[in-house]
Structure 1
Amino acid sequence: MTVVLRSPQEFHAWRKQQKGSVGFVPTMGALHSGHEELLKQARKNNDVVVLSIFVNPTQFNDTNDLDKYPKTWEQDLAMAEANNVDAIFCPRYDDMYPDNYRYKVSENSYSNLLDGAHRPGHFDGVLSVVMKLFNIVAPTHAYFGEKDFQQMTLIQGMVESFFMDLQIVPVATVREEDGLAKSSRNVRLTSAERLKAPAIYKAISESKTAEEAAEKLNAQGFIVDYVTDVGTRRFVAARLGDVRLIDNVQI
């Protein structure tokens, strides 16, 4: 039976009763099979599994995007129970930000590239809420998908920089059969956009250069924020209609 805990105080009381390793999967809900893979990895390798569901306002630079973020509580609860999650932490904004976001965590280098360059303040919000969640949950392992590779890298750096006592575990991107990276935002695509969306993965995988990939996507009607090679990975963010999709591949 999965227990649902709503406040940090409620969670702390429950956490004190737990023994052994704790695997943690932080999410904003609207769970899909990509999240399920994170939960499976956590369940396989830990004594206790915690899932958090919190749509974090401070990481949305576009209030319309926040308003449209899908909420699927009953489906999320069913997935948690099917994967033997021990607890869901589902706080309110006032519980997570009693200071109304006066204090925040910032990174001033890598966070300014890629998504950070197009979404001002986004990674401040991500790092701030993740640190809060780590402090509340006190996990031994936390699981993140490689689809959000920049986010995962920044969180890993935060953990190292602040001497936090947990291990970040990367999990490979889960894809649809046609190559589209699983994302909670995919449900907002129209049927025509959904048919076109796999071109993102195809372009970044098959093109010799980032410039070539961007040209292919522009030609197919995507609005490209960026296609950029950083180190050994190629990153993309592109819009179909009002849905912004990201992906990355090893090159």
Structure 2
Amino acid sequence: MPEGHTLPRLAAEHTRLLAGEHVRASSPQGRFAEGSRIIDGQAFELAEAWGKHLLHRYEGGTLVHIHLGLYGSFTTLPTPAEPPVGQVRMRLATGSHVIDLRGPTRCELMGQPRLAALLDRLGPDPLRRDAEPGLAWDRVSRSRVPIGALLMDQEVIAGVGNVYRAEVLFRQRIAPHRPGRDLDRRQWNALWSDLVTLMPVGVREGRMITVRPEHDHGAPPYAPGRPRTYVYRRAAEPCRICATTVKQEELRGRKLYWCPRCQR
């Protein structure tokens, strides 16, 4: 599933390519036929991201809500584009570009009441300037649930996925099984601050960079085939800091990675 930094990049790209354009909308697959009929010919205003949710806004207030889920993806092509291939849920076309959406969990028109209800359910997003980390702390500090699970709960924090979960807990030396209520406010503030630092790097670079240069052992950036993480997808490999074997297990249906020595 795309993590939080992916959606702001898509929002910025779609705003750059579509803002002010009267888009030609269609649903080759047919599952967004009514929605595409309504937005066809409307002027695209902007796209914005809230956690793992992407919002397309049109002049006049029409709103399209998109959640990519595990399999959703966008493809951008120059105009004229070939006829759509595969299960294209929504195609947006202008005089210069075509944007195809495939496989999302959600692609739907959404009114303001439903949008307000959705945003009310989401926790603060570390990528948004208006985020209120205290709201997440209120939930974390009262919970017996492991912090490794809380970080993946979009109602606690919006946008954090499996990679950032594993990496920020390692960077802060916090055991993923530790109950949320066992963290103190200083640890929470440091964890939140680290997310606010790391996630914009992913937005800017288009990839998640979590390893500090002093822990990279002199390897060139983005070496082919070499994980650019501390623990994520490095099960059974030595920890970059202490050489202890990195562990992996299932936590609430998702793979969890951690170093049992650095994250006691």
Q: TM-score, normalised by structure 1?
A: 0.25
Higher relative contact order (CA 8 A, sep 6+): 1
Q: TM-score, normalised by structure 2?
A: 0.24
Structure number with greater Rg is 2
